């Protein structure tokens, strides 16, 4: 593929201005008050408005791999894959309406921390914490870096190593200094850039091809000139413009696709730290719900701003994007397996005029940076709050903040070390890899959290052995997948029958079922948890108004003269960055602490959320609650219409 690159001063200026604006937004967050405490750094002080929550949810989920991968899937097989995006709408609503009230009621920073409060003991919390950090490093970082490197290398001709290092330095800089607030507000800015730039490309693409009706016609005729005329290889699928495909023989059978994109992805939207952390940082439950609604509506857009552009790209450039001959593909994109993943990049370089091409470069950089910052901050939160505090039980607030920042720097280093591996990977193999890991290992996590919130009889033994059973099944299937890759088009099927007879979407539901059955059976066969241990950690026992009043009354009854100030102070999260510590320190040390927002306090960090604070978060004004519920119904009606229209 000929590389045009950004050789015009207008494009280069737009990219430079974009970088400056992102840095300014990130630096602006450094001037927030009380930046130097754990609550502020990891949860942005729990003071994020609804519009920022929604934009950050969308931006954290939509990475460069979506622009590359979704457009590539659209070019290769049509629109069915969009169901993974659309079914995110009810799932993110489920997070705001069902899961988040329980998380807040339990007063947690991380999802592994919730499991410990729900079941007691530490083995489940450590197991999920270690698994989460490994998955972030091995899958999410790898995919984000791969997709970003592919775009930079093919579209700009820049040195890939220097480009990725520069991105990591910029994202790591404001993430390390600003914490979650810096990530959320830069995500909001990047969401605006991504949306505007993407719609500009869609408009130009449809104008070039002559509208939607013409796209259907031209896409079905987009056949590469070099192919075996006696085979179906390289031909567009006859069901390319349909979501609900044959339940047995298709590439995406509709029952499995619906179940996997909903039940199978429950863990990601309702139980994954990257997503949940943004709602935990909201001002209150109403802001969190409104943010979830915004994110849900935005998740309806990928069909129009990612998949359709990929299909337009195939229609316009079938010999490159839809190539089937290994030599032709090698020449077009350097990948003999296929070039569908260059669909979006090809469209940008061929169609966008000067200036807008620079804007689209900024769009892709936004996607890369928003994904990386989200991974950095969430992985740092889990490592610091769930793992480091187990090693250092008396860790001070200062120590936790330093450890969190150092861990992000370490992740940047690991990301750079990943570059040679990602560069040598074939694009199709990497995306199969990420889908397998998320489907096989993530689906059982969704079952674990759903049962934990809704079933009071579930105990720690059931939870632990349930997740082990689900992951054992997932690892076995994943190992077989990697040992027996799918044959190329036209080649004979040599894989075990379980691979080609049981689609991965169906197997994901089997893992969910096995996890659930193990949870129920083991829980019923072992001792139930005492009722008092279940307070505020399930849907049926979550915090409410009277509990906060009872808490204050109990403190008043047990303190001299009814003075509750001392009792409450022991339960609150300290917002005092100094903690009354000595101030006779060196100038360099003081300057470092001010820039990094690290307190001088040497006291033990207090990360407990009081019942009063919980109730304040969960309290909703009746009118706002009704409006949110009404909008929820409207959003689901819109989703039902789209599903019916593109069925």
What DSSP state is assigned to residue 532? G
- Residue 56, CB-side half-sphere exposure with 13 Å CA sphere: 33
In the chain, what's the furthest Cα-to-Cα distance? 92
Helix axes 285-298, 50-61, angle to 10 degrees: 40
DSSP string for 322-355: T--SHHHHHHHHS-TT--GGGHHHHHHHHHPPTT
pLDDT digits (tens, 9 = 90+) for 546-563: 444 444 334 433 444 433
The sign of the dihedral angle between the CA atoms of 194, 135, 341, 501 is negative
Helix axes 141-156, 343-351, angle to 10 degrees: 30
Residue ranges of alpha helices (H) inside 438-459 are: 443-454
Pair 191, 175: CB distance under 8 Å: no
Q: Give whichever of 191-205, 251-265, 355-369, 633-647 has the largest mean pLDDT.
A: 633-647
pLDDT digits (tens, 9 = 90+) for 15-24: 788 778 777 7
Q: Which two tokens stand for residue 283?
A: 């001002």
pLDDT of residue 146: 67
Pair 281, 46: CB distance under 8 Å: yes
Per-residue CA distances from 40 to 213, 360, 391, 409, 514 (Å): 51, 33, 23, 19, 40
Rg (CA), the chain: 25
Q: What angle do CA 554, 559, 565 make, to 5 degrees?
A: 90
Category of 45 on φ-ψ map: left (φ > 0), alpha (ψ -120 to 50) or beta = left
- pLDDT tier at 83 (50, 70, 90 boundaries)? very high
Q: Which two tokens stand for residue 363?
A: 């769009």
Q: How far apart are CA 280 and CA 272, in angstroms?
A: 12
pLDDT at 115 over 90: yes
Query: Which of 234-248, 249-263, 586-600 has the lowest average pLDDT?
Result: 586-600
Pair 438, 474: CB distance under 8 Å: no
pLDDT of residue 258: 92
Residues sharing a CB contact under 8 Å with residue 221, sequence separation 6 or more, in sequence order: 236, 315
pLDDT digits (tens, 9 = 90+) for 316-350: 999 999 988 888 888 887 777 778 888 888 888 88
Q: Which two tokens stand for residue 588?
A: 């360099």
Q: How far apart are CA 91 and CA 292, in angstroms?
A: 9
Phi, psi of 245 (to 5 degrees): -110, 170
What number is the average pLDDT over the span 95-115? 91
- pLDDT tier at 160 (50, 70, 90 boundaries)? low
pLDDT of residue 501: 82
DSSP string for 545-603: HHHHHHHHHHHHHTSGGG--HHHHHTTSPP--SSTT------HHHHHHHHHHT-----S
pLDDT of residue 586: 62
Determine how many CB atoms are found less than 10 A away from the CB of residue 492: 5
Q: What angle do CA 114, 265, 67 make, to 5 degrees?
A: 120
For residue 114, the Cα-to-chain-centroid distance in whole angstroms is: 19
Q: Which two tokens stand for residue 301?
A: 């857009």
Q: Give whichever of 465-469, 484-488, 553-557 has the largest mean pLDDT.
A: 465-469
What DSSP state is assigned to residue 245? B
Residues sharing a CB contact under 8 Å with residue 97, sequence separation 6 or more, in sequence order: 289, 292, 632
Q: Which two tokens stand for residue 173?
A: 């800089």
- pLDDT tier at 29 (50, 70, 90 boundaries)? low
Residues sharing a CB contact under 8 Å with residue 438, sequence separation 6 or more, in sequence order: 139, 268
For residue 171, the Cα-to-chain-centroid distance in whole angstroms is: 16
Q: How far apart are CA 282 and CA 491, in angstroms?
A: 53
pLDDT of residue 573: 37
Question: Which residues are paired to 245 by β-bridges?
Answer: 253
Fold designation for 9-390+425-484+494-533+625-645? Sodium/glucose cotransporter (1.20.1730)
DSSP string for 250-276: SSSBHHHHHHHHHTTTHHHHHH-HHHH
Q: How far apart are CA 458 and CA 471, in angstroms?
A: 19
Element (H, E) at 281: none
Q: How far apart are CA 443 and CA 263, in angstroms?
A: 8
What number is the average pLDDT over the span 115-122? 90
pLDDT digits (tens, 9 = 90+) for 512-542: 999 999 999 999 999 999 998 999 999 999 8
DSSP string for 488-517: PTTSPP-S-HHHHHS-HHHHHHHHHHHHHH
Phi, psi of 282 (to 5 degrees): -70, 160
pLDDT of residue 441: 85
For residue 6, the Cα-to-chain-centroid distance in whole angstroms is: 30
pLDDT of residue 102: 94
Q: How far apart are CA 260 and CA 258, in angstroms?
A: 6
Q: How far apart are CA 378 and CA 135, in angstroms?
A: 12
Category of 6 on φ-ψ map: left (φ > 0), alpha (ψ -120 to 50) or beta = beta
- pLDDT tier at 646 (50, 70, 90 boundaries)? very high
Pair 452, 463: CB distance under 8 Å: yes
| DSSP-based three-state secondary structure for 48 | strand
pLDDT digits (tens, 9 = 90+) for 605-624: 455 667 777 888 888 999 99
| Residue positions counted in the chain | 647
Percent share of the chain, pLDDT over 70: 76
- pLDDT tier at 366 (50, 70, 90 boundaries)? low
Q: How far apart are CA 442 and CA 436, in angstroms?
A: 9
Average pLDDT of the chain is 79
Q: Which two tokens stand for residue 70?
A: 């979704």
For the chain, domain boundaries: 9-390+425-484+494-533+625-645
pLDDT digits (tens, 9 = 90+) for 173-223: 666 665 666 667 777 777 888 888 889 899 999 999 999 989 999 999 999
The sign of the dihedral angle between the CA atoms of 168, 173, 177, 180 is negative
């Amino acid at each position: 593929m000929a590389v045009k690159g950004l050789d015009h001063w207008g494009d280069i200026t737009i990219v430079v201005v974009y970088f400056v604006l992102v840095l300014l937004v990130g630096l602006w967050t450094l001037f927030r008050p009380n930046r130097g405490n754990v609550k502020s750094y990891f949860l942005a002080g729990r003071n994020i408005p609804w519009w920022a929550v929604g934009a950050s949810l969308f931006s954290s989920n939509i990475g460069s791999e979506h622009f590359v991968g979704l457009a590539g899937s659209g070019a290769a097989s049509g629109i069915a894959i969009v169901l993974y995006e659309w079914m995110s709408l009810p799932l993110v609503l489920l997070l705001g309406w069902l899961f988040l009230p329980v998380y807040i009621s339990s007063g947690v920073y991380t999802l592994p921390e919730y499991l410990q409060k729900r079941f007691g003991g530490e083995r489940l919390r450590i197991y999920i914490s270690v698994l989460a950090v490994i998955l972030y490093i091995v899958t999410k970082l790898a995919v984000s870096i791969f997709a970003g490197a592919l775009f930079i290398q093919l579209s700009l001709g820049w040195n890939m190593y220097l480009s990725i290092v520069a991105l990591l330095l910029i994202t790591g800089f404001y993430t390390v200094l600003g914490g979650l607030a810096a990530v959320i507000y830069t995500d909001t800015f990047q969401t605006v850039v991504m949306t505007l730039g993407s719609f500009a490309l869609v408009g130009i693409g449809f104008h070039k091809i002559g509208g939607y009706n013409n796209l259907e016609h031209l896409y079905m005729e987009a056949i590469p000139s070099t192919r075996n005329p006696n085979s179906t290889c390289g031909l567009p699928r006859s069901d390319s413009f349909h979501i609900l495909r044959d339940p047995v023989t298709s590439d995406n059978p509709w029952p499995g696709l619906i179940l996997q994109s909903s039940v199978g992805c429950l863990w990601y939207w309702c139980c994954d730290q990257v997503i949940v952390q943004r709602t935990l940082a909201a001002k209150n439950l109403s802001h969190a719900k409104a943010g979830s609604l915004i994110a849900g509506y935005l998740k309806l857009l990928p069909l129009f701003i990612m998949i359709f552009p990929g299909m337009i790209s195939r229609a316009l450039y079938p010999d490159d994007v839809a190539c089937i001959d290994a030599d032709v593909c090698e020449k077009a994109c350097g990948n003999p397996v296929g070039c569908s993943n260059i669909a979006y990049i090809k469209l940008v370089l061929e169609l966008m005029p000067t200036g807008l091409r620079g804007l689209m470069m900024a769009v892709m950089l936004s996607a890369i940076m928003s994904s990386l910052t989200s991974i950095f901050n969430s992985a740092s939160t889990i490592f610091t709050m769930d793992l480091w505090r187990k090693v250092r039980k008396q860790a001070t607030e200062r120590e936790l903040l330093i450890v969190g920042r150092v861990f992000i720097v370490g992740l940047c280093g690991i990301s750079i070390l990943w570059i040679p591996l990602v560069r040598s990977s074939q694009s199709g193999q990497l995306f199969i890899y990420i889908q397998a890991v998320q489907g096989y290992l993530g689906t059982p996590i969704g079952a674990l959290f759903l049962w934990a919130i809704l079933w009071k009889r579930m105990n720690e033994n059931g939870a632990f052995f349930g997740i082990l059973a689900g992951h054992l099944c997932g690892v076995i299937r994943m190992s077989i997948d990697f040992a027996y890759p799918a044959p190329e088009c036209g080649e004979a099927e040599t894989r075990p029958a379980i691979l080609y007879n049981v689609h991965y979407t169906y197997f994901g539901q089997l893992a969910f079922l096995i996890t659930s059955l193990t949870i129920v059976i083991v829980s019923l066969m072992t001792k139930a948890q005492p009722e008092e241990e279940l307070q505020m950690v399930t849907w049926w026992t979550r915090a409410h108004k009277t509990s906060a009043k009872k808490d204050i009354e109990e403190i008043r009854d047990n303190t001299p003269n009814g003075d509750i100030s001392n009792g409450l102070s022991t339960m609150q999260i300290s917002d005092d960055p100094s903690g009354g510590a000595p101030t006779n320190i060196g100038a360099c040390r003081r300057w470092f602490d001010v820039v990094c927002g690290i307190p001088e306090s040497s006291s033990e960090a207090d990360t407990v959320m009081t019942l009063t604070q919980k109730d304040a978060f969960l309290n909703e004004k009746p009118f706002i609650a009704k409006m949110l519920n009404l909008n929820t119904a409207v959003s689901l009606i819109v989703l039902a219409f789209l599903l019916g229209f593109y069925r």
